[in-house]
């Protein structure tokens, strides 16, 4: 299967990568929906509720207890997948990355055209005056991080009940629609509306790399149910 994937990559010159939480697990970041994922960890409130816009507004103390405990990925490093995608970009084959992750590991690895559908922990803004703050400011703060003006600082990550950025949606769909190869990796394709964007793909090769089945398996050119990091490690060595 790796040889087949390599052949498809060799034949393609407009590759787009669409990734989910499974891309970052090899970097030590928990995913959401697996048996060991964040949504199966016991908290006073369900994680889906904690990570909602309403909960953030009504209970910022509990929100930040969870957020600082589980979303701090500042010390995490890019893995084989992130590194290989940089190599593909440098070869002129990879045109863009669309990610559902908020850890910015693709950018940390050196990729330049990264569309973060759900935002990033690295951007934070005061809800009162709009002043920008770093991720370190937020994660090193005591209790709820506050701006110098007294306003609450909010991470620029897309919470439940919040819309995705329309410009990023447009750019993502545009990238996918022009691709000759789309690699979908580390995502269950269960999160709406992001899971609908792959429907705009009209290219030659649709490849799915994921530990579990996805809704795209039946019409994909190639499905690899293996560890993502191992797949890209093998590609790197070829």
Confidence (pLDDT) at 38: 54
pLDDT at position 219 is: 94
Contact 20, 100 (CB under 8 A): yes
At residue 42, the pLDDT reads 63
3-state secondary structure the chain: CHHHHHHHHHHCCCEEEEECHHHCHHHCCCCCCCCCCHHHCCCCCCHHHHCEHHHHHHCHHHHHHHHHHHCCCCCCCCCHHHHHHHHHHHCCCEEEEEECCCCCHHHHHCCCCEEECCEEEEEEEECCCCCEECHHHHHCCCCCCECCCCCEEEEEECCECCCCCHHHHHHHHHHHHHCCEEEEECCCCCCCCHHHHHHHCCCCEEEEECCCCCCCHHHCCEEECCCHHHHHHHHHCC
Cα(19)–Cα(167) distance, integer angstroms: 18
- Per-residue model confidence as pLDDT tens for the chain (238 residues): 899 999 999 999 999 999 999 999 999 998 755 455 454 456 678 888 999 999 999 999 999 999 999 899 999 999 999 999 999 999 999 999 999 999 999 999 999 999 999 999 999 999 999 999 999 999 999 999 999 999 999 999 999 999 999 999 999 999 999 999 999 999 989 888 888 999 999 999 999 999 889 999 999 999 999 999 999 999 988 7
CB atoms within 10 A of CB 131: 13
- The Cα 121–Cα 72 span in angstroms is 8
Q: From CA 220, how far away is CA 235, in angstroms rounded?
A: 19
Q: Are strands 153-157 and 222-224 parallel, antiparallel or unpaired?
A: unpaired
Q: Side by side, which strands form the sheet with 153-157? A: 132-133, 119-126, 153-157
Annotated catalytic residue, options 53, 82, 118, 236 = 118
pLDDT value at residue 32:
59
For the question of residue 118 being annotated catalytic, the response is yes
pLDDT at 34: 47
Contacts of 3 (CB under 8 A, 6+ apart): none
**pLDDT score at 175:** 98
pTM of the model: 0.92
């Amino acid at each position: 299967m790796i040889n087949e994937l390599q052949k498809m990559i060799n034949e393609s010159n407009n590759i787009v990568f669409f990734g989910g939480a499974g891309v970052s697990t090899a970097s030590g970041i928990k995913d959401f929906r697996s048996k060991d994922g964040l949504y199966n960890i016991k908290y006073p409130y369900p994680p889906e509720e904690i990570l909602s816009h309403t909960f953030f507004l009504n209970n910022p103390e509990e929100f930040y207890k969870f957020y600082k405990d589980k979303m701090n990925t500042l010390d995490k490093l890019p893995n084989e997948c992130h590194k290989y995608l940089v190599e593909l970009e440098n070869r002129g084959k990879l045109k863009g990355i669309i990610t559902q992750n908020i850890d910015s590991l693709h950018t940390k690895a050196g990729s330049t055209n990264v569309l973060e559908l759900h935002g990033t922990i690295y951007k934070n803004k005061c809800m009162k005056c709009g002043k920008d703050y770093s991720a370190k400011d937020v994660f090193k703060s005591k209790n709820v991080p506050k701006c110098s003006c007294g306003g609450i600082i909010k991470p620029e990550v897309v919470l439940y009940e919040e819309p995705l950025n329309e410009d990023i949606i447009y750019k993502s769909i545009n990238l996918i629609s022009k691709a000759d190869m789309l690699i979908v990796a580390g995502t269950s394709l269960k999160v709406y509306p992001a899971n609908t964007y792959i429907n705009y793909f009209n290219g030659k090769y649709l490849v799915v790399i994921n530990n579990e089945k996805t809704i795209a398996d039946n019409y994909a050119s190639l499905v690899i149910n293996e560890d993502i990091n191992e797949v890209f490690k093998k590609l790197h060595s070829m």
